[in-house]
């Protein structure tokens, strides 16, 4: 009797514990450029209206209906419906069970790209709302790229290409797409001289690889530093594919740019890391380029930038 009573008490305690949603372990991000651009423009144009339509909400609604394909027609339909104040649960019916997944995924991928920021012009900060992330290639420098995510790579072992290669000129300035903390910096046998930056919300890890030989990084940049979106972080090159440091073993000058999603910290470095196809994101970011100017003794950013959505920055030995 006593044992049965204890079992009942234990069952009640378990039922009272908060239910923890299952961690997202796989993401196939395939939203087309046209759909990203349309949803983003709706978000920006409605930002100061009574009914602000979030591009995350639009894409999550469209994603449920299309299995994440988010064709432009489905995105336009979702926009019209959300403007009518109809809830996703009402609109989706049985498909609503997928809404939380798509919303979390798109929030994790795109959450740091759009928002409130200010650019300093002639000594005055000018606040605005819009695309606050930048192309990884500084303004005034040409590049080309194609949809190459998943292509075969063989150095070290057979594997898939987990990023987007942007072909350009030796020494092209590379900037931080989004602000964050420099989490990794130095030599990697695959990526050569590379930098890894974690977004302030810790959900995105940006990887910039094959930086130039001898002077790969922005002067003074160190691991643990905080960078703002659009800050100079390094220079394009072709280092990598070598256990020996500072070696040009990549045939073509380019930047390997990748984004890893981190829903739980254990996912950051494991056998099932979540890297997504950033090709269409790079296309979207091309309309926002950071101006970097070479000056005597170094480089400077032409228009200083402040992310107005960040209330406080991480604190630590290297953080301010």
Asked if 236 and 138 count as a contact pair (C-beta separation under 8 A), the reply is no
Q: How far apart are CA 56 and CA 14, in angstroms?
A: 34
What is the predicted pLDDT for the residue at 159?
A: 76
Burial of 18 (0-12, 13-18, 19+ CB in 10 A): exposed
Q: Answer yes or no: do 162 and 267 share one domain.
A: yes
Q: Which domain holds residue 61?
A: 26-110
Torsion of CA 141, 147, 152, 156, to 10 degrees: 30
What is the predicted pLDDT for the residue at 152?
A: 87
Q: Answer yes or no: do 62 and 155 share one domain.
A: no
pLDDT average per 10 residues of sequence, the chain (320 residues):
47 39 89 98 96 97 98 98 93 97 98 95 91 98 94 79 96 98 96 97 97 97 97 98 96 98 93 95 97 92 93 59
In this structure, is residue 262 part of a structural domain? yes
Structure tokens at 222: 């160190």
Q: Answer yes or no: do 218 and 85 share one domain.
A: no
pTM across the whole model: 0.90
Q: Answer yes or no: do 154 and 293 share one domain.
A: yes
Which one, of 245, 237, 264, 248, lies nearest residue 25 by Cα? 264
Distances (CA, A) of 212 to 175, 223, 239: 14, 18, 6
Q: How far apart are CA 183 and CA 202, in angstroms?
A: 11
Structure tokens at 267: 């996912």
**Beta strands at 114-121 and 124-131: parallel, antiparallel or unpaired:** antiparallel
Task: Specify the CATH number for the domain of residue 218.
Answer: 2.70.70.10
Q: Answer yes or no: do 35 and 149 share one domain.
A: no
DSSP-derived secondary structure letter, 6 = H
Q: Answer yes or no: do 143 and 291 share one domain.
A: yes
Distances (CA, A) of 181 to 26, 176, 293: 25, 10, 23
Strand partners, 248: 240
Alpha-carbon Rg for the chain in angstroms: 22
Q: Answer yes or no: do 53 and 147 share one domain.
A: no
Q: Answer yes or no: do 173 and 65 share one domain.
A: no
What is the predicted pLDDT for the residue at 3?
A: 53
């Amino acid at each position: 009797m006593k044992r049965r009573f204890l079992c009942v008490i234990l069952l009640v305690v378990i039922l009272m514990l908060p239910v923890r949603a299952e961690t997202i372990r796989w993401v196939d991000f395939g939203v087309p450029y046209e759909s990203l651009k349309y949803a983003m423009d709706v978000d920006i144009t409605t930002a100061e209206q009574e009914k602000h339509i979030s591009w995350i909400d639009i894409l999550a609604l469209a994603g449920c209906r299309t299995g994440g394909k988010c064709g432009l027609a489905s995105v336009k339909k979702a926009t019209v419906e959300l403007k009518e104040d109809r809830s996703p649960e009402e609109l989706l019916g049985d498909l609503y069970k997928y809404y939380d997944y798509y919303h979390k995924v798109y929030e994790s991928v795109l959450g740091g790209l759009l928002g409130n920021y200010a650019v300093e012009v002639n000594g005055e900060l000018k606040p605005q709302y819009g695309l606050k992330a930048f192309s990884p290639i500084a303004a005034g420098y040409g590049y080309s790229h194609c949809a190459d995510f998943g292509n075969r790579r063989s150095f070290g072992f057979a594997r898939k290409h987990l990023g987007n290669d942007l072909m350009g000129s030796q020494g092209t300035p590379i900037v931080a797409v989004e602000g964050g903390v420099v989490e990794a910096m130095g030599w990697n046998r695959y990526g050569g001289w590379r930098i890894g930056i974690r977004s302030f919300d810790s959900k995105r890890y940006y990887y910039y690889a094959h930086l130039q030989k001898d002077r790969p990084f922005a002067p003074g940049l160190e691991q643990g530093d905080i960078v703002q979106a659009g800050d100079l972080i390094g220079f394009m090159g072709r280092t990598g594919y070598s256990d020996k440091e500072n070696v040009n073993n990549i045939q073509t000058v380019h930047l390997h740019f990748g984004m890893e999603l981190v829903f739980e910290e254990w996912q950051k470095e494991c056998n099932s890391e979540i890297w997504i196809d950033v090709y269409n994101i790079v296309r979207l970011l091309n309309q926002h380029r950071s101006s970097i100017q070479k000056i005597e003794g170094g480089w400077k950013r032409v228009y200083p930038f402040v992310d107005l959505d960040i209330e406080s920055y991480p604190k630590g030995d290297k953080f301010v």
